[in-house]
Structure 1
Amino acid sequence: MKKIVLASSVLVGMFLSGCSHRIADLTYVSTKNISQEELATATSDNERVKGEDSSHIIIFIPTGNPSAEEALDRAIEQRKGGVALKNATIHSSWFYIPYIYGKTTITVEGEVLVTLRKEVKY
């Protein structure tokens, strides 16, 4: 009986599993056009922010692919005048319950660099 319970527990654990891993550690990262001079004069409040982008798996059909660029934009835009992240980390995680539901997420975390950049209007 104990073997059946142990085998069942292992199978349930495998089916309800997820995974998370670190993709990158970056000193500076941005999706905005910024010069080195602007980057040198940018300031940070040393408070970490987080941006995420996710996609879902319904039954077995994925609804899309999460984007690290979108997650990065969401993190940078949490501060007015934000142009880049410093000391950034990028993580990827997922879980899947077979034939029911799953989710894949990319998370970007770091300190927002803010500059007094003048917006160009076209």
Structure 2
Amino acid sequence: MKAIRFTAIAIAMTASISGCTTRVADMTIASSKNINLNSGQFSEGRRVSGSDSVAVVLFPLGYPNVKEAIDKAVEKDQCAVGLSDVVIDSEFFAFIFGYQQFNVEGNLIIDHGKPGCGGYAQTSSQQRYAPTQTSAQQSYAPSKEQQIQQLQQRNLPYEQYQQEYRRIMGQ
């Protein structure tokens, strides 16, 4: 009889301290910032996460905000303007006291066109992101990678960019 009581208490305690996490969304790109899509100077940064939460005392004392969670993740780099490959989760735990929160995780989208973030005037950052080149490639026509990099820096409208890209790739 004591074993059954102990098992029932153990199951009840386990159920009372467990929380619930639910995937809310998977997104290709997410941002709460204004983005200059014509910049053409984007790169993918490191994977970051951000969260926004509220306390629960018998009932939630507010509601967590997905925008705040995205902002906290994006603000981990001053040149970031958004996130790519984003996963948004909702987490909830409450047993008299607890919390409710949104967790956002994604790769930073870095805009090198922003002031102070390595735009055209700063050649060191362009060299950092340029593909490695051999002397044979330099003496002949530019490689596909070099042509694509130059194309990305030209700030073309989408249709024209696609035409040039297909020409470079030989399609």
SS of 1:92's partner is strand
Aligned residue-pair number: 113
Structure 1 residue ranges, 4+ long, deviating more than 3 angstroms after superposition: none
Q: Residue type matched to 1:44 in 2?
A: E
- Please give the per-residue CA displacement for 1:12-55, whole angstroms capped at 9, x wherever unaligned: 122212111211111111111224323x431123x101111010
Distance (Å, rounded) in 2 between the aligned partners of 1:61 and 1:103: 9
Distance (Å, rounded) in 2 between the aligned partners of 1:10 and 1:75: 37
Q: Aligned pair 1:103/2:99, yes or no?
A: yes
Q: Aligned pair 1:49/2:48, yes or no?
A: yes
2:13 aligns to what?
A: 12
Distance (Å, rounded) in 1 between the aligned partners of 2:60 and 2:21: 18
Please say which structure displays the higher CA radius of gyration.
2
Q: Residue type matched to 2:60 in 1?
A: P
Q: Residue type matched to 1:22 in 2?
A: R
Which one has the bigger helix percentage? 2
Match of 2:75 among 74, 77, 94: 77
2:162 aligns to what?
A: none
Distance (Å, rounded) in 1 between the aligned partners of 2:42 and 2:20: 36
How much identity, in percent, do the aligned residues show? 30
2:159 aligns to what?
A: none
2:33 aligns to what?
A: 32
Normalising by structure 1, report the TM-score: 0.83
User: How far off its partner does 1:107 sit?
Assistant: 0.8
Distance (Å, rounded) in 2 between the aligned partners of 1:93 and 1:41: 35
Structure of higher RCO (CA pairs closer than 8 Å, 6+ residues apart): 1
Unaligned runs of 5+ in 2: 116-171
RMSD in angstroms over aligned alpha carbons? Answer: 1.5
Is this contact kept in 1: 2:60–2:100, CA < 8 A? Answer: no
- Please give the per-residue CA displacement for 1:62-117, whole angstroms capped at 9, x wherever unaligned: 221111110001101111121110111111111112x2x11111111111112123
SS of 2:70's partner is helix
Which one has the bigger strand percentage? 1
Unaligned runs of 5+ in 1: none
